[in-house]
Amino acid sequence: MRLLFVCTGNLCRSPLAERLLRAWAERELGDAASSLRIESAGTAAARGPMDEQSALALTELGGDPAGASARQLSTVGTADVDLVLTMTREQRWAVLQHDPRALRRVFTLAEATALLALIDRTGLTLLPADERARELALRLNMARARRAGGRDDDIPDPIGQSYEVHREVAARIAAELRPLADVLLAPARGPLLPRRPSSVI
């Protein structure tokens, strides 16, 4: 399973979402989390480590900012990404300019969470992790026609603002991400087999 979070500078929002989901995966899946590729990038990434204010907000949520460094979207690529989650509608458009074939796999984070409430989730957690994100993206895409997007799909950029703003944005990202994580990180469960009748001696 390969997931990609995208914002503008890859300094605040997208690395926070990436590192937070990584932390949840390690906590909930244990060693199996190593099979997930969770990354982030920016449409106009600036060089440097994660913003200090967002890094602190991430730490408060249980994530680890160590080693986070901004990367440009063009160097990461989206061809083999199962699900791309941007922070704004403008960034979603920028991803599609970069890779028009990614249309069915690109959503804003808030949009994906809203669409999740509209889809049939039957069988999703029965799928192995490497298939689940692709299937989730397909179902979210099919539900787009049932929902009108708008400004609520954008998570604002906290760069250069107070720590309280960074905390508010971090809390919003965590709240939007958690329902998706519940699907993506659920342990794969195969179909239940009928119990064999016990033999009577």
**Mean pLDDT, 10 residues at a time, the chain of 201 residues:** 96 98 94 91 92 97 95 90 97 95 96 97 89 96 94 96 97 98 80 38 33
Structural domain includes residue 151: yes
Q: Report how far Cα 75 is from the mean position of its chain's Cα atoms.
A: 19
Tell whether 104 is covered by a domain.
yes
In a domain, 191, yes or no: no
CATH number of the domain bearing residue 140: 3.40.50.2300
Residue whose entry in the numeric block shows the structure tokens 């249980």: 62
Residue by residue, DSSP assigns 85-129 as: EESSHHHHHHHHHH-GGGGGGEEEHHHHHHHHTTS--TTGGGS-H
- Give me the pLDDT at residue 201, please: 33
Residue 121: what pLDDT? 93
**pLDDT value for 77:** 84
Is residue 106, in this structure, part of any structural domain at all? yes
- Whether 100 is covered by a domain: the verdict is yes
Kindly state whether residue 197 falls inside one of the protein's structural domains.
no
Quick one: which of 79, 75, 54, 77 has its CA closest to 64? 54
Q: Is the residue at 86 inside a domain?
A: yes
Q: Which domain holds residue 62?
A: 2-184
| Euclidean distance between CA atoms 198 and 175, whole angstroms | 47
64 part of a folded domain: yes
For position 129, what pLDDT does the model report? Answer: 80
Q: What is the pLDDT of residue 188?
A: 61
- Residue 14, pLDDT score: 98
DSSP state of 49: B
pLDDT digits (tens, 9 = 90+) for 92-151: 999 999 999 999 999 999 999 999 999 999 999 899 887 999 999 999 999 999 999 899
* Tokens describing residue 178: 């958690």
Number of structural domains found in the chain: 1
**pLDDT given at position 130:** 77
